[in-house]
Amino acid sequence: QVQLVESGGGLVQPGGSLRLSCVVSGVTVDTYTIGWFRQAPGKKFEDREQVSCINRGRRADRSYSDSVKGRFTIDRDNGKNTIYLQMSSLKPEDTGTYYCATAPAGWNTCDYGMDVWGMGTQVTVSS
């Protein structure tokens, strides 16, 4: 049974940094495509935005939404079975609940059909 647990959220001032962690159990992180998503305040869960995605396999292709490109970095630690999202130069519009999720086995995209979701971690960017 696949489970994901996010952590690392909190309150940070604009321009600050946070690192989110997604600990995965039940599968090894390098065999599944995994993404980070965020739900902005007042928005429905189904309107969440894909923030970043890291593909399964050794090549681990990464992708980012235009809104975070150059500021966020997704990475993977196979030994800890954990996916990280390093967030820098944070802006108030980055505020939201951040979720990690796995794609179905064998998939190489986070664009749709994400299979298993964590419970989320809250990020608030405010002065």
Q: List the pLDDT tens digit at each of the 127 positions of the chain.
A: 999 999 999 999 999 999 999 999 999 999 999 999 999 999 999 999 999 999 999 989 999 999 999 999 999 999 999 999 999 999 999 999 999 999 999 999 999 899 999 999 999 999 9
Contact at 8 Å (CB) between 65 and 49?
A: yes
pLDDT the model gives residue 78:
95
pLDDT the model gives residue 35:
98
Burial zone of 53 (CB within 10 Å; 0-12 exposed, 13-18 middle, 19+ buried) = buried
Give 43-77 as a DSSP string. --GGG-EEEEEE-SSSS--EEE-TTTTTTEEEEEE
pLDDT the model gives residue 55:
97
CA–CA dist 39, 45 (Å, integer) = 6
Residue with tokens 């007042």: 42
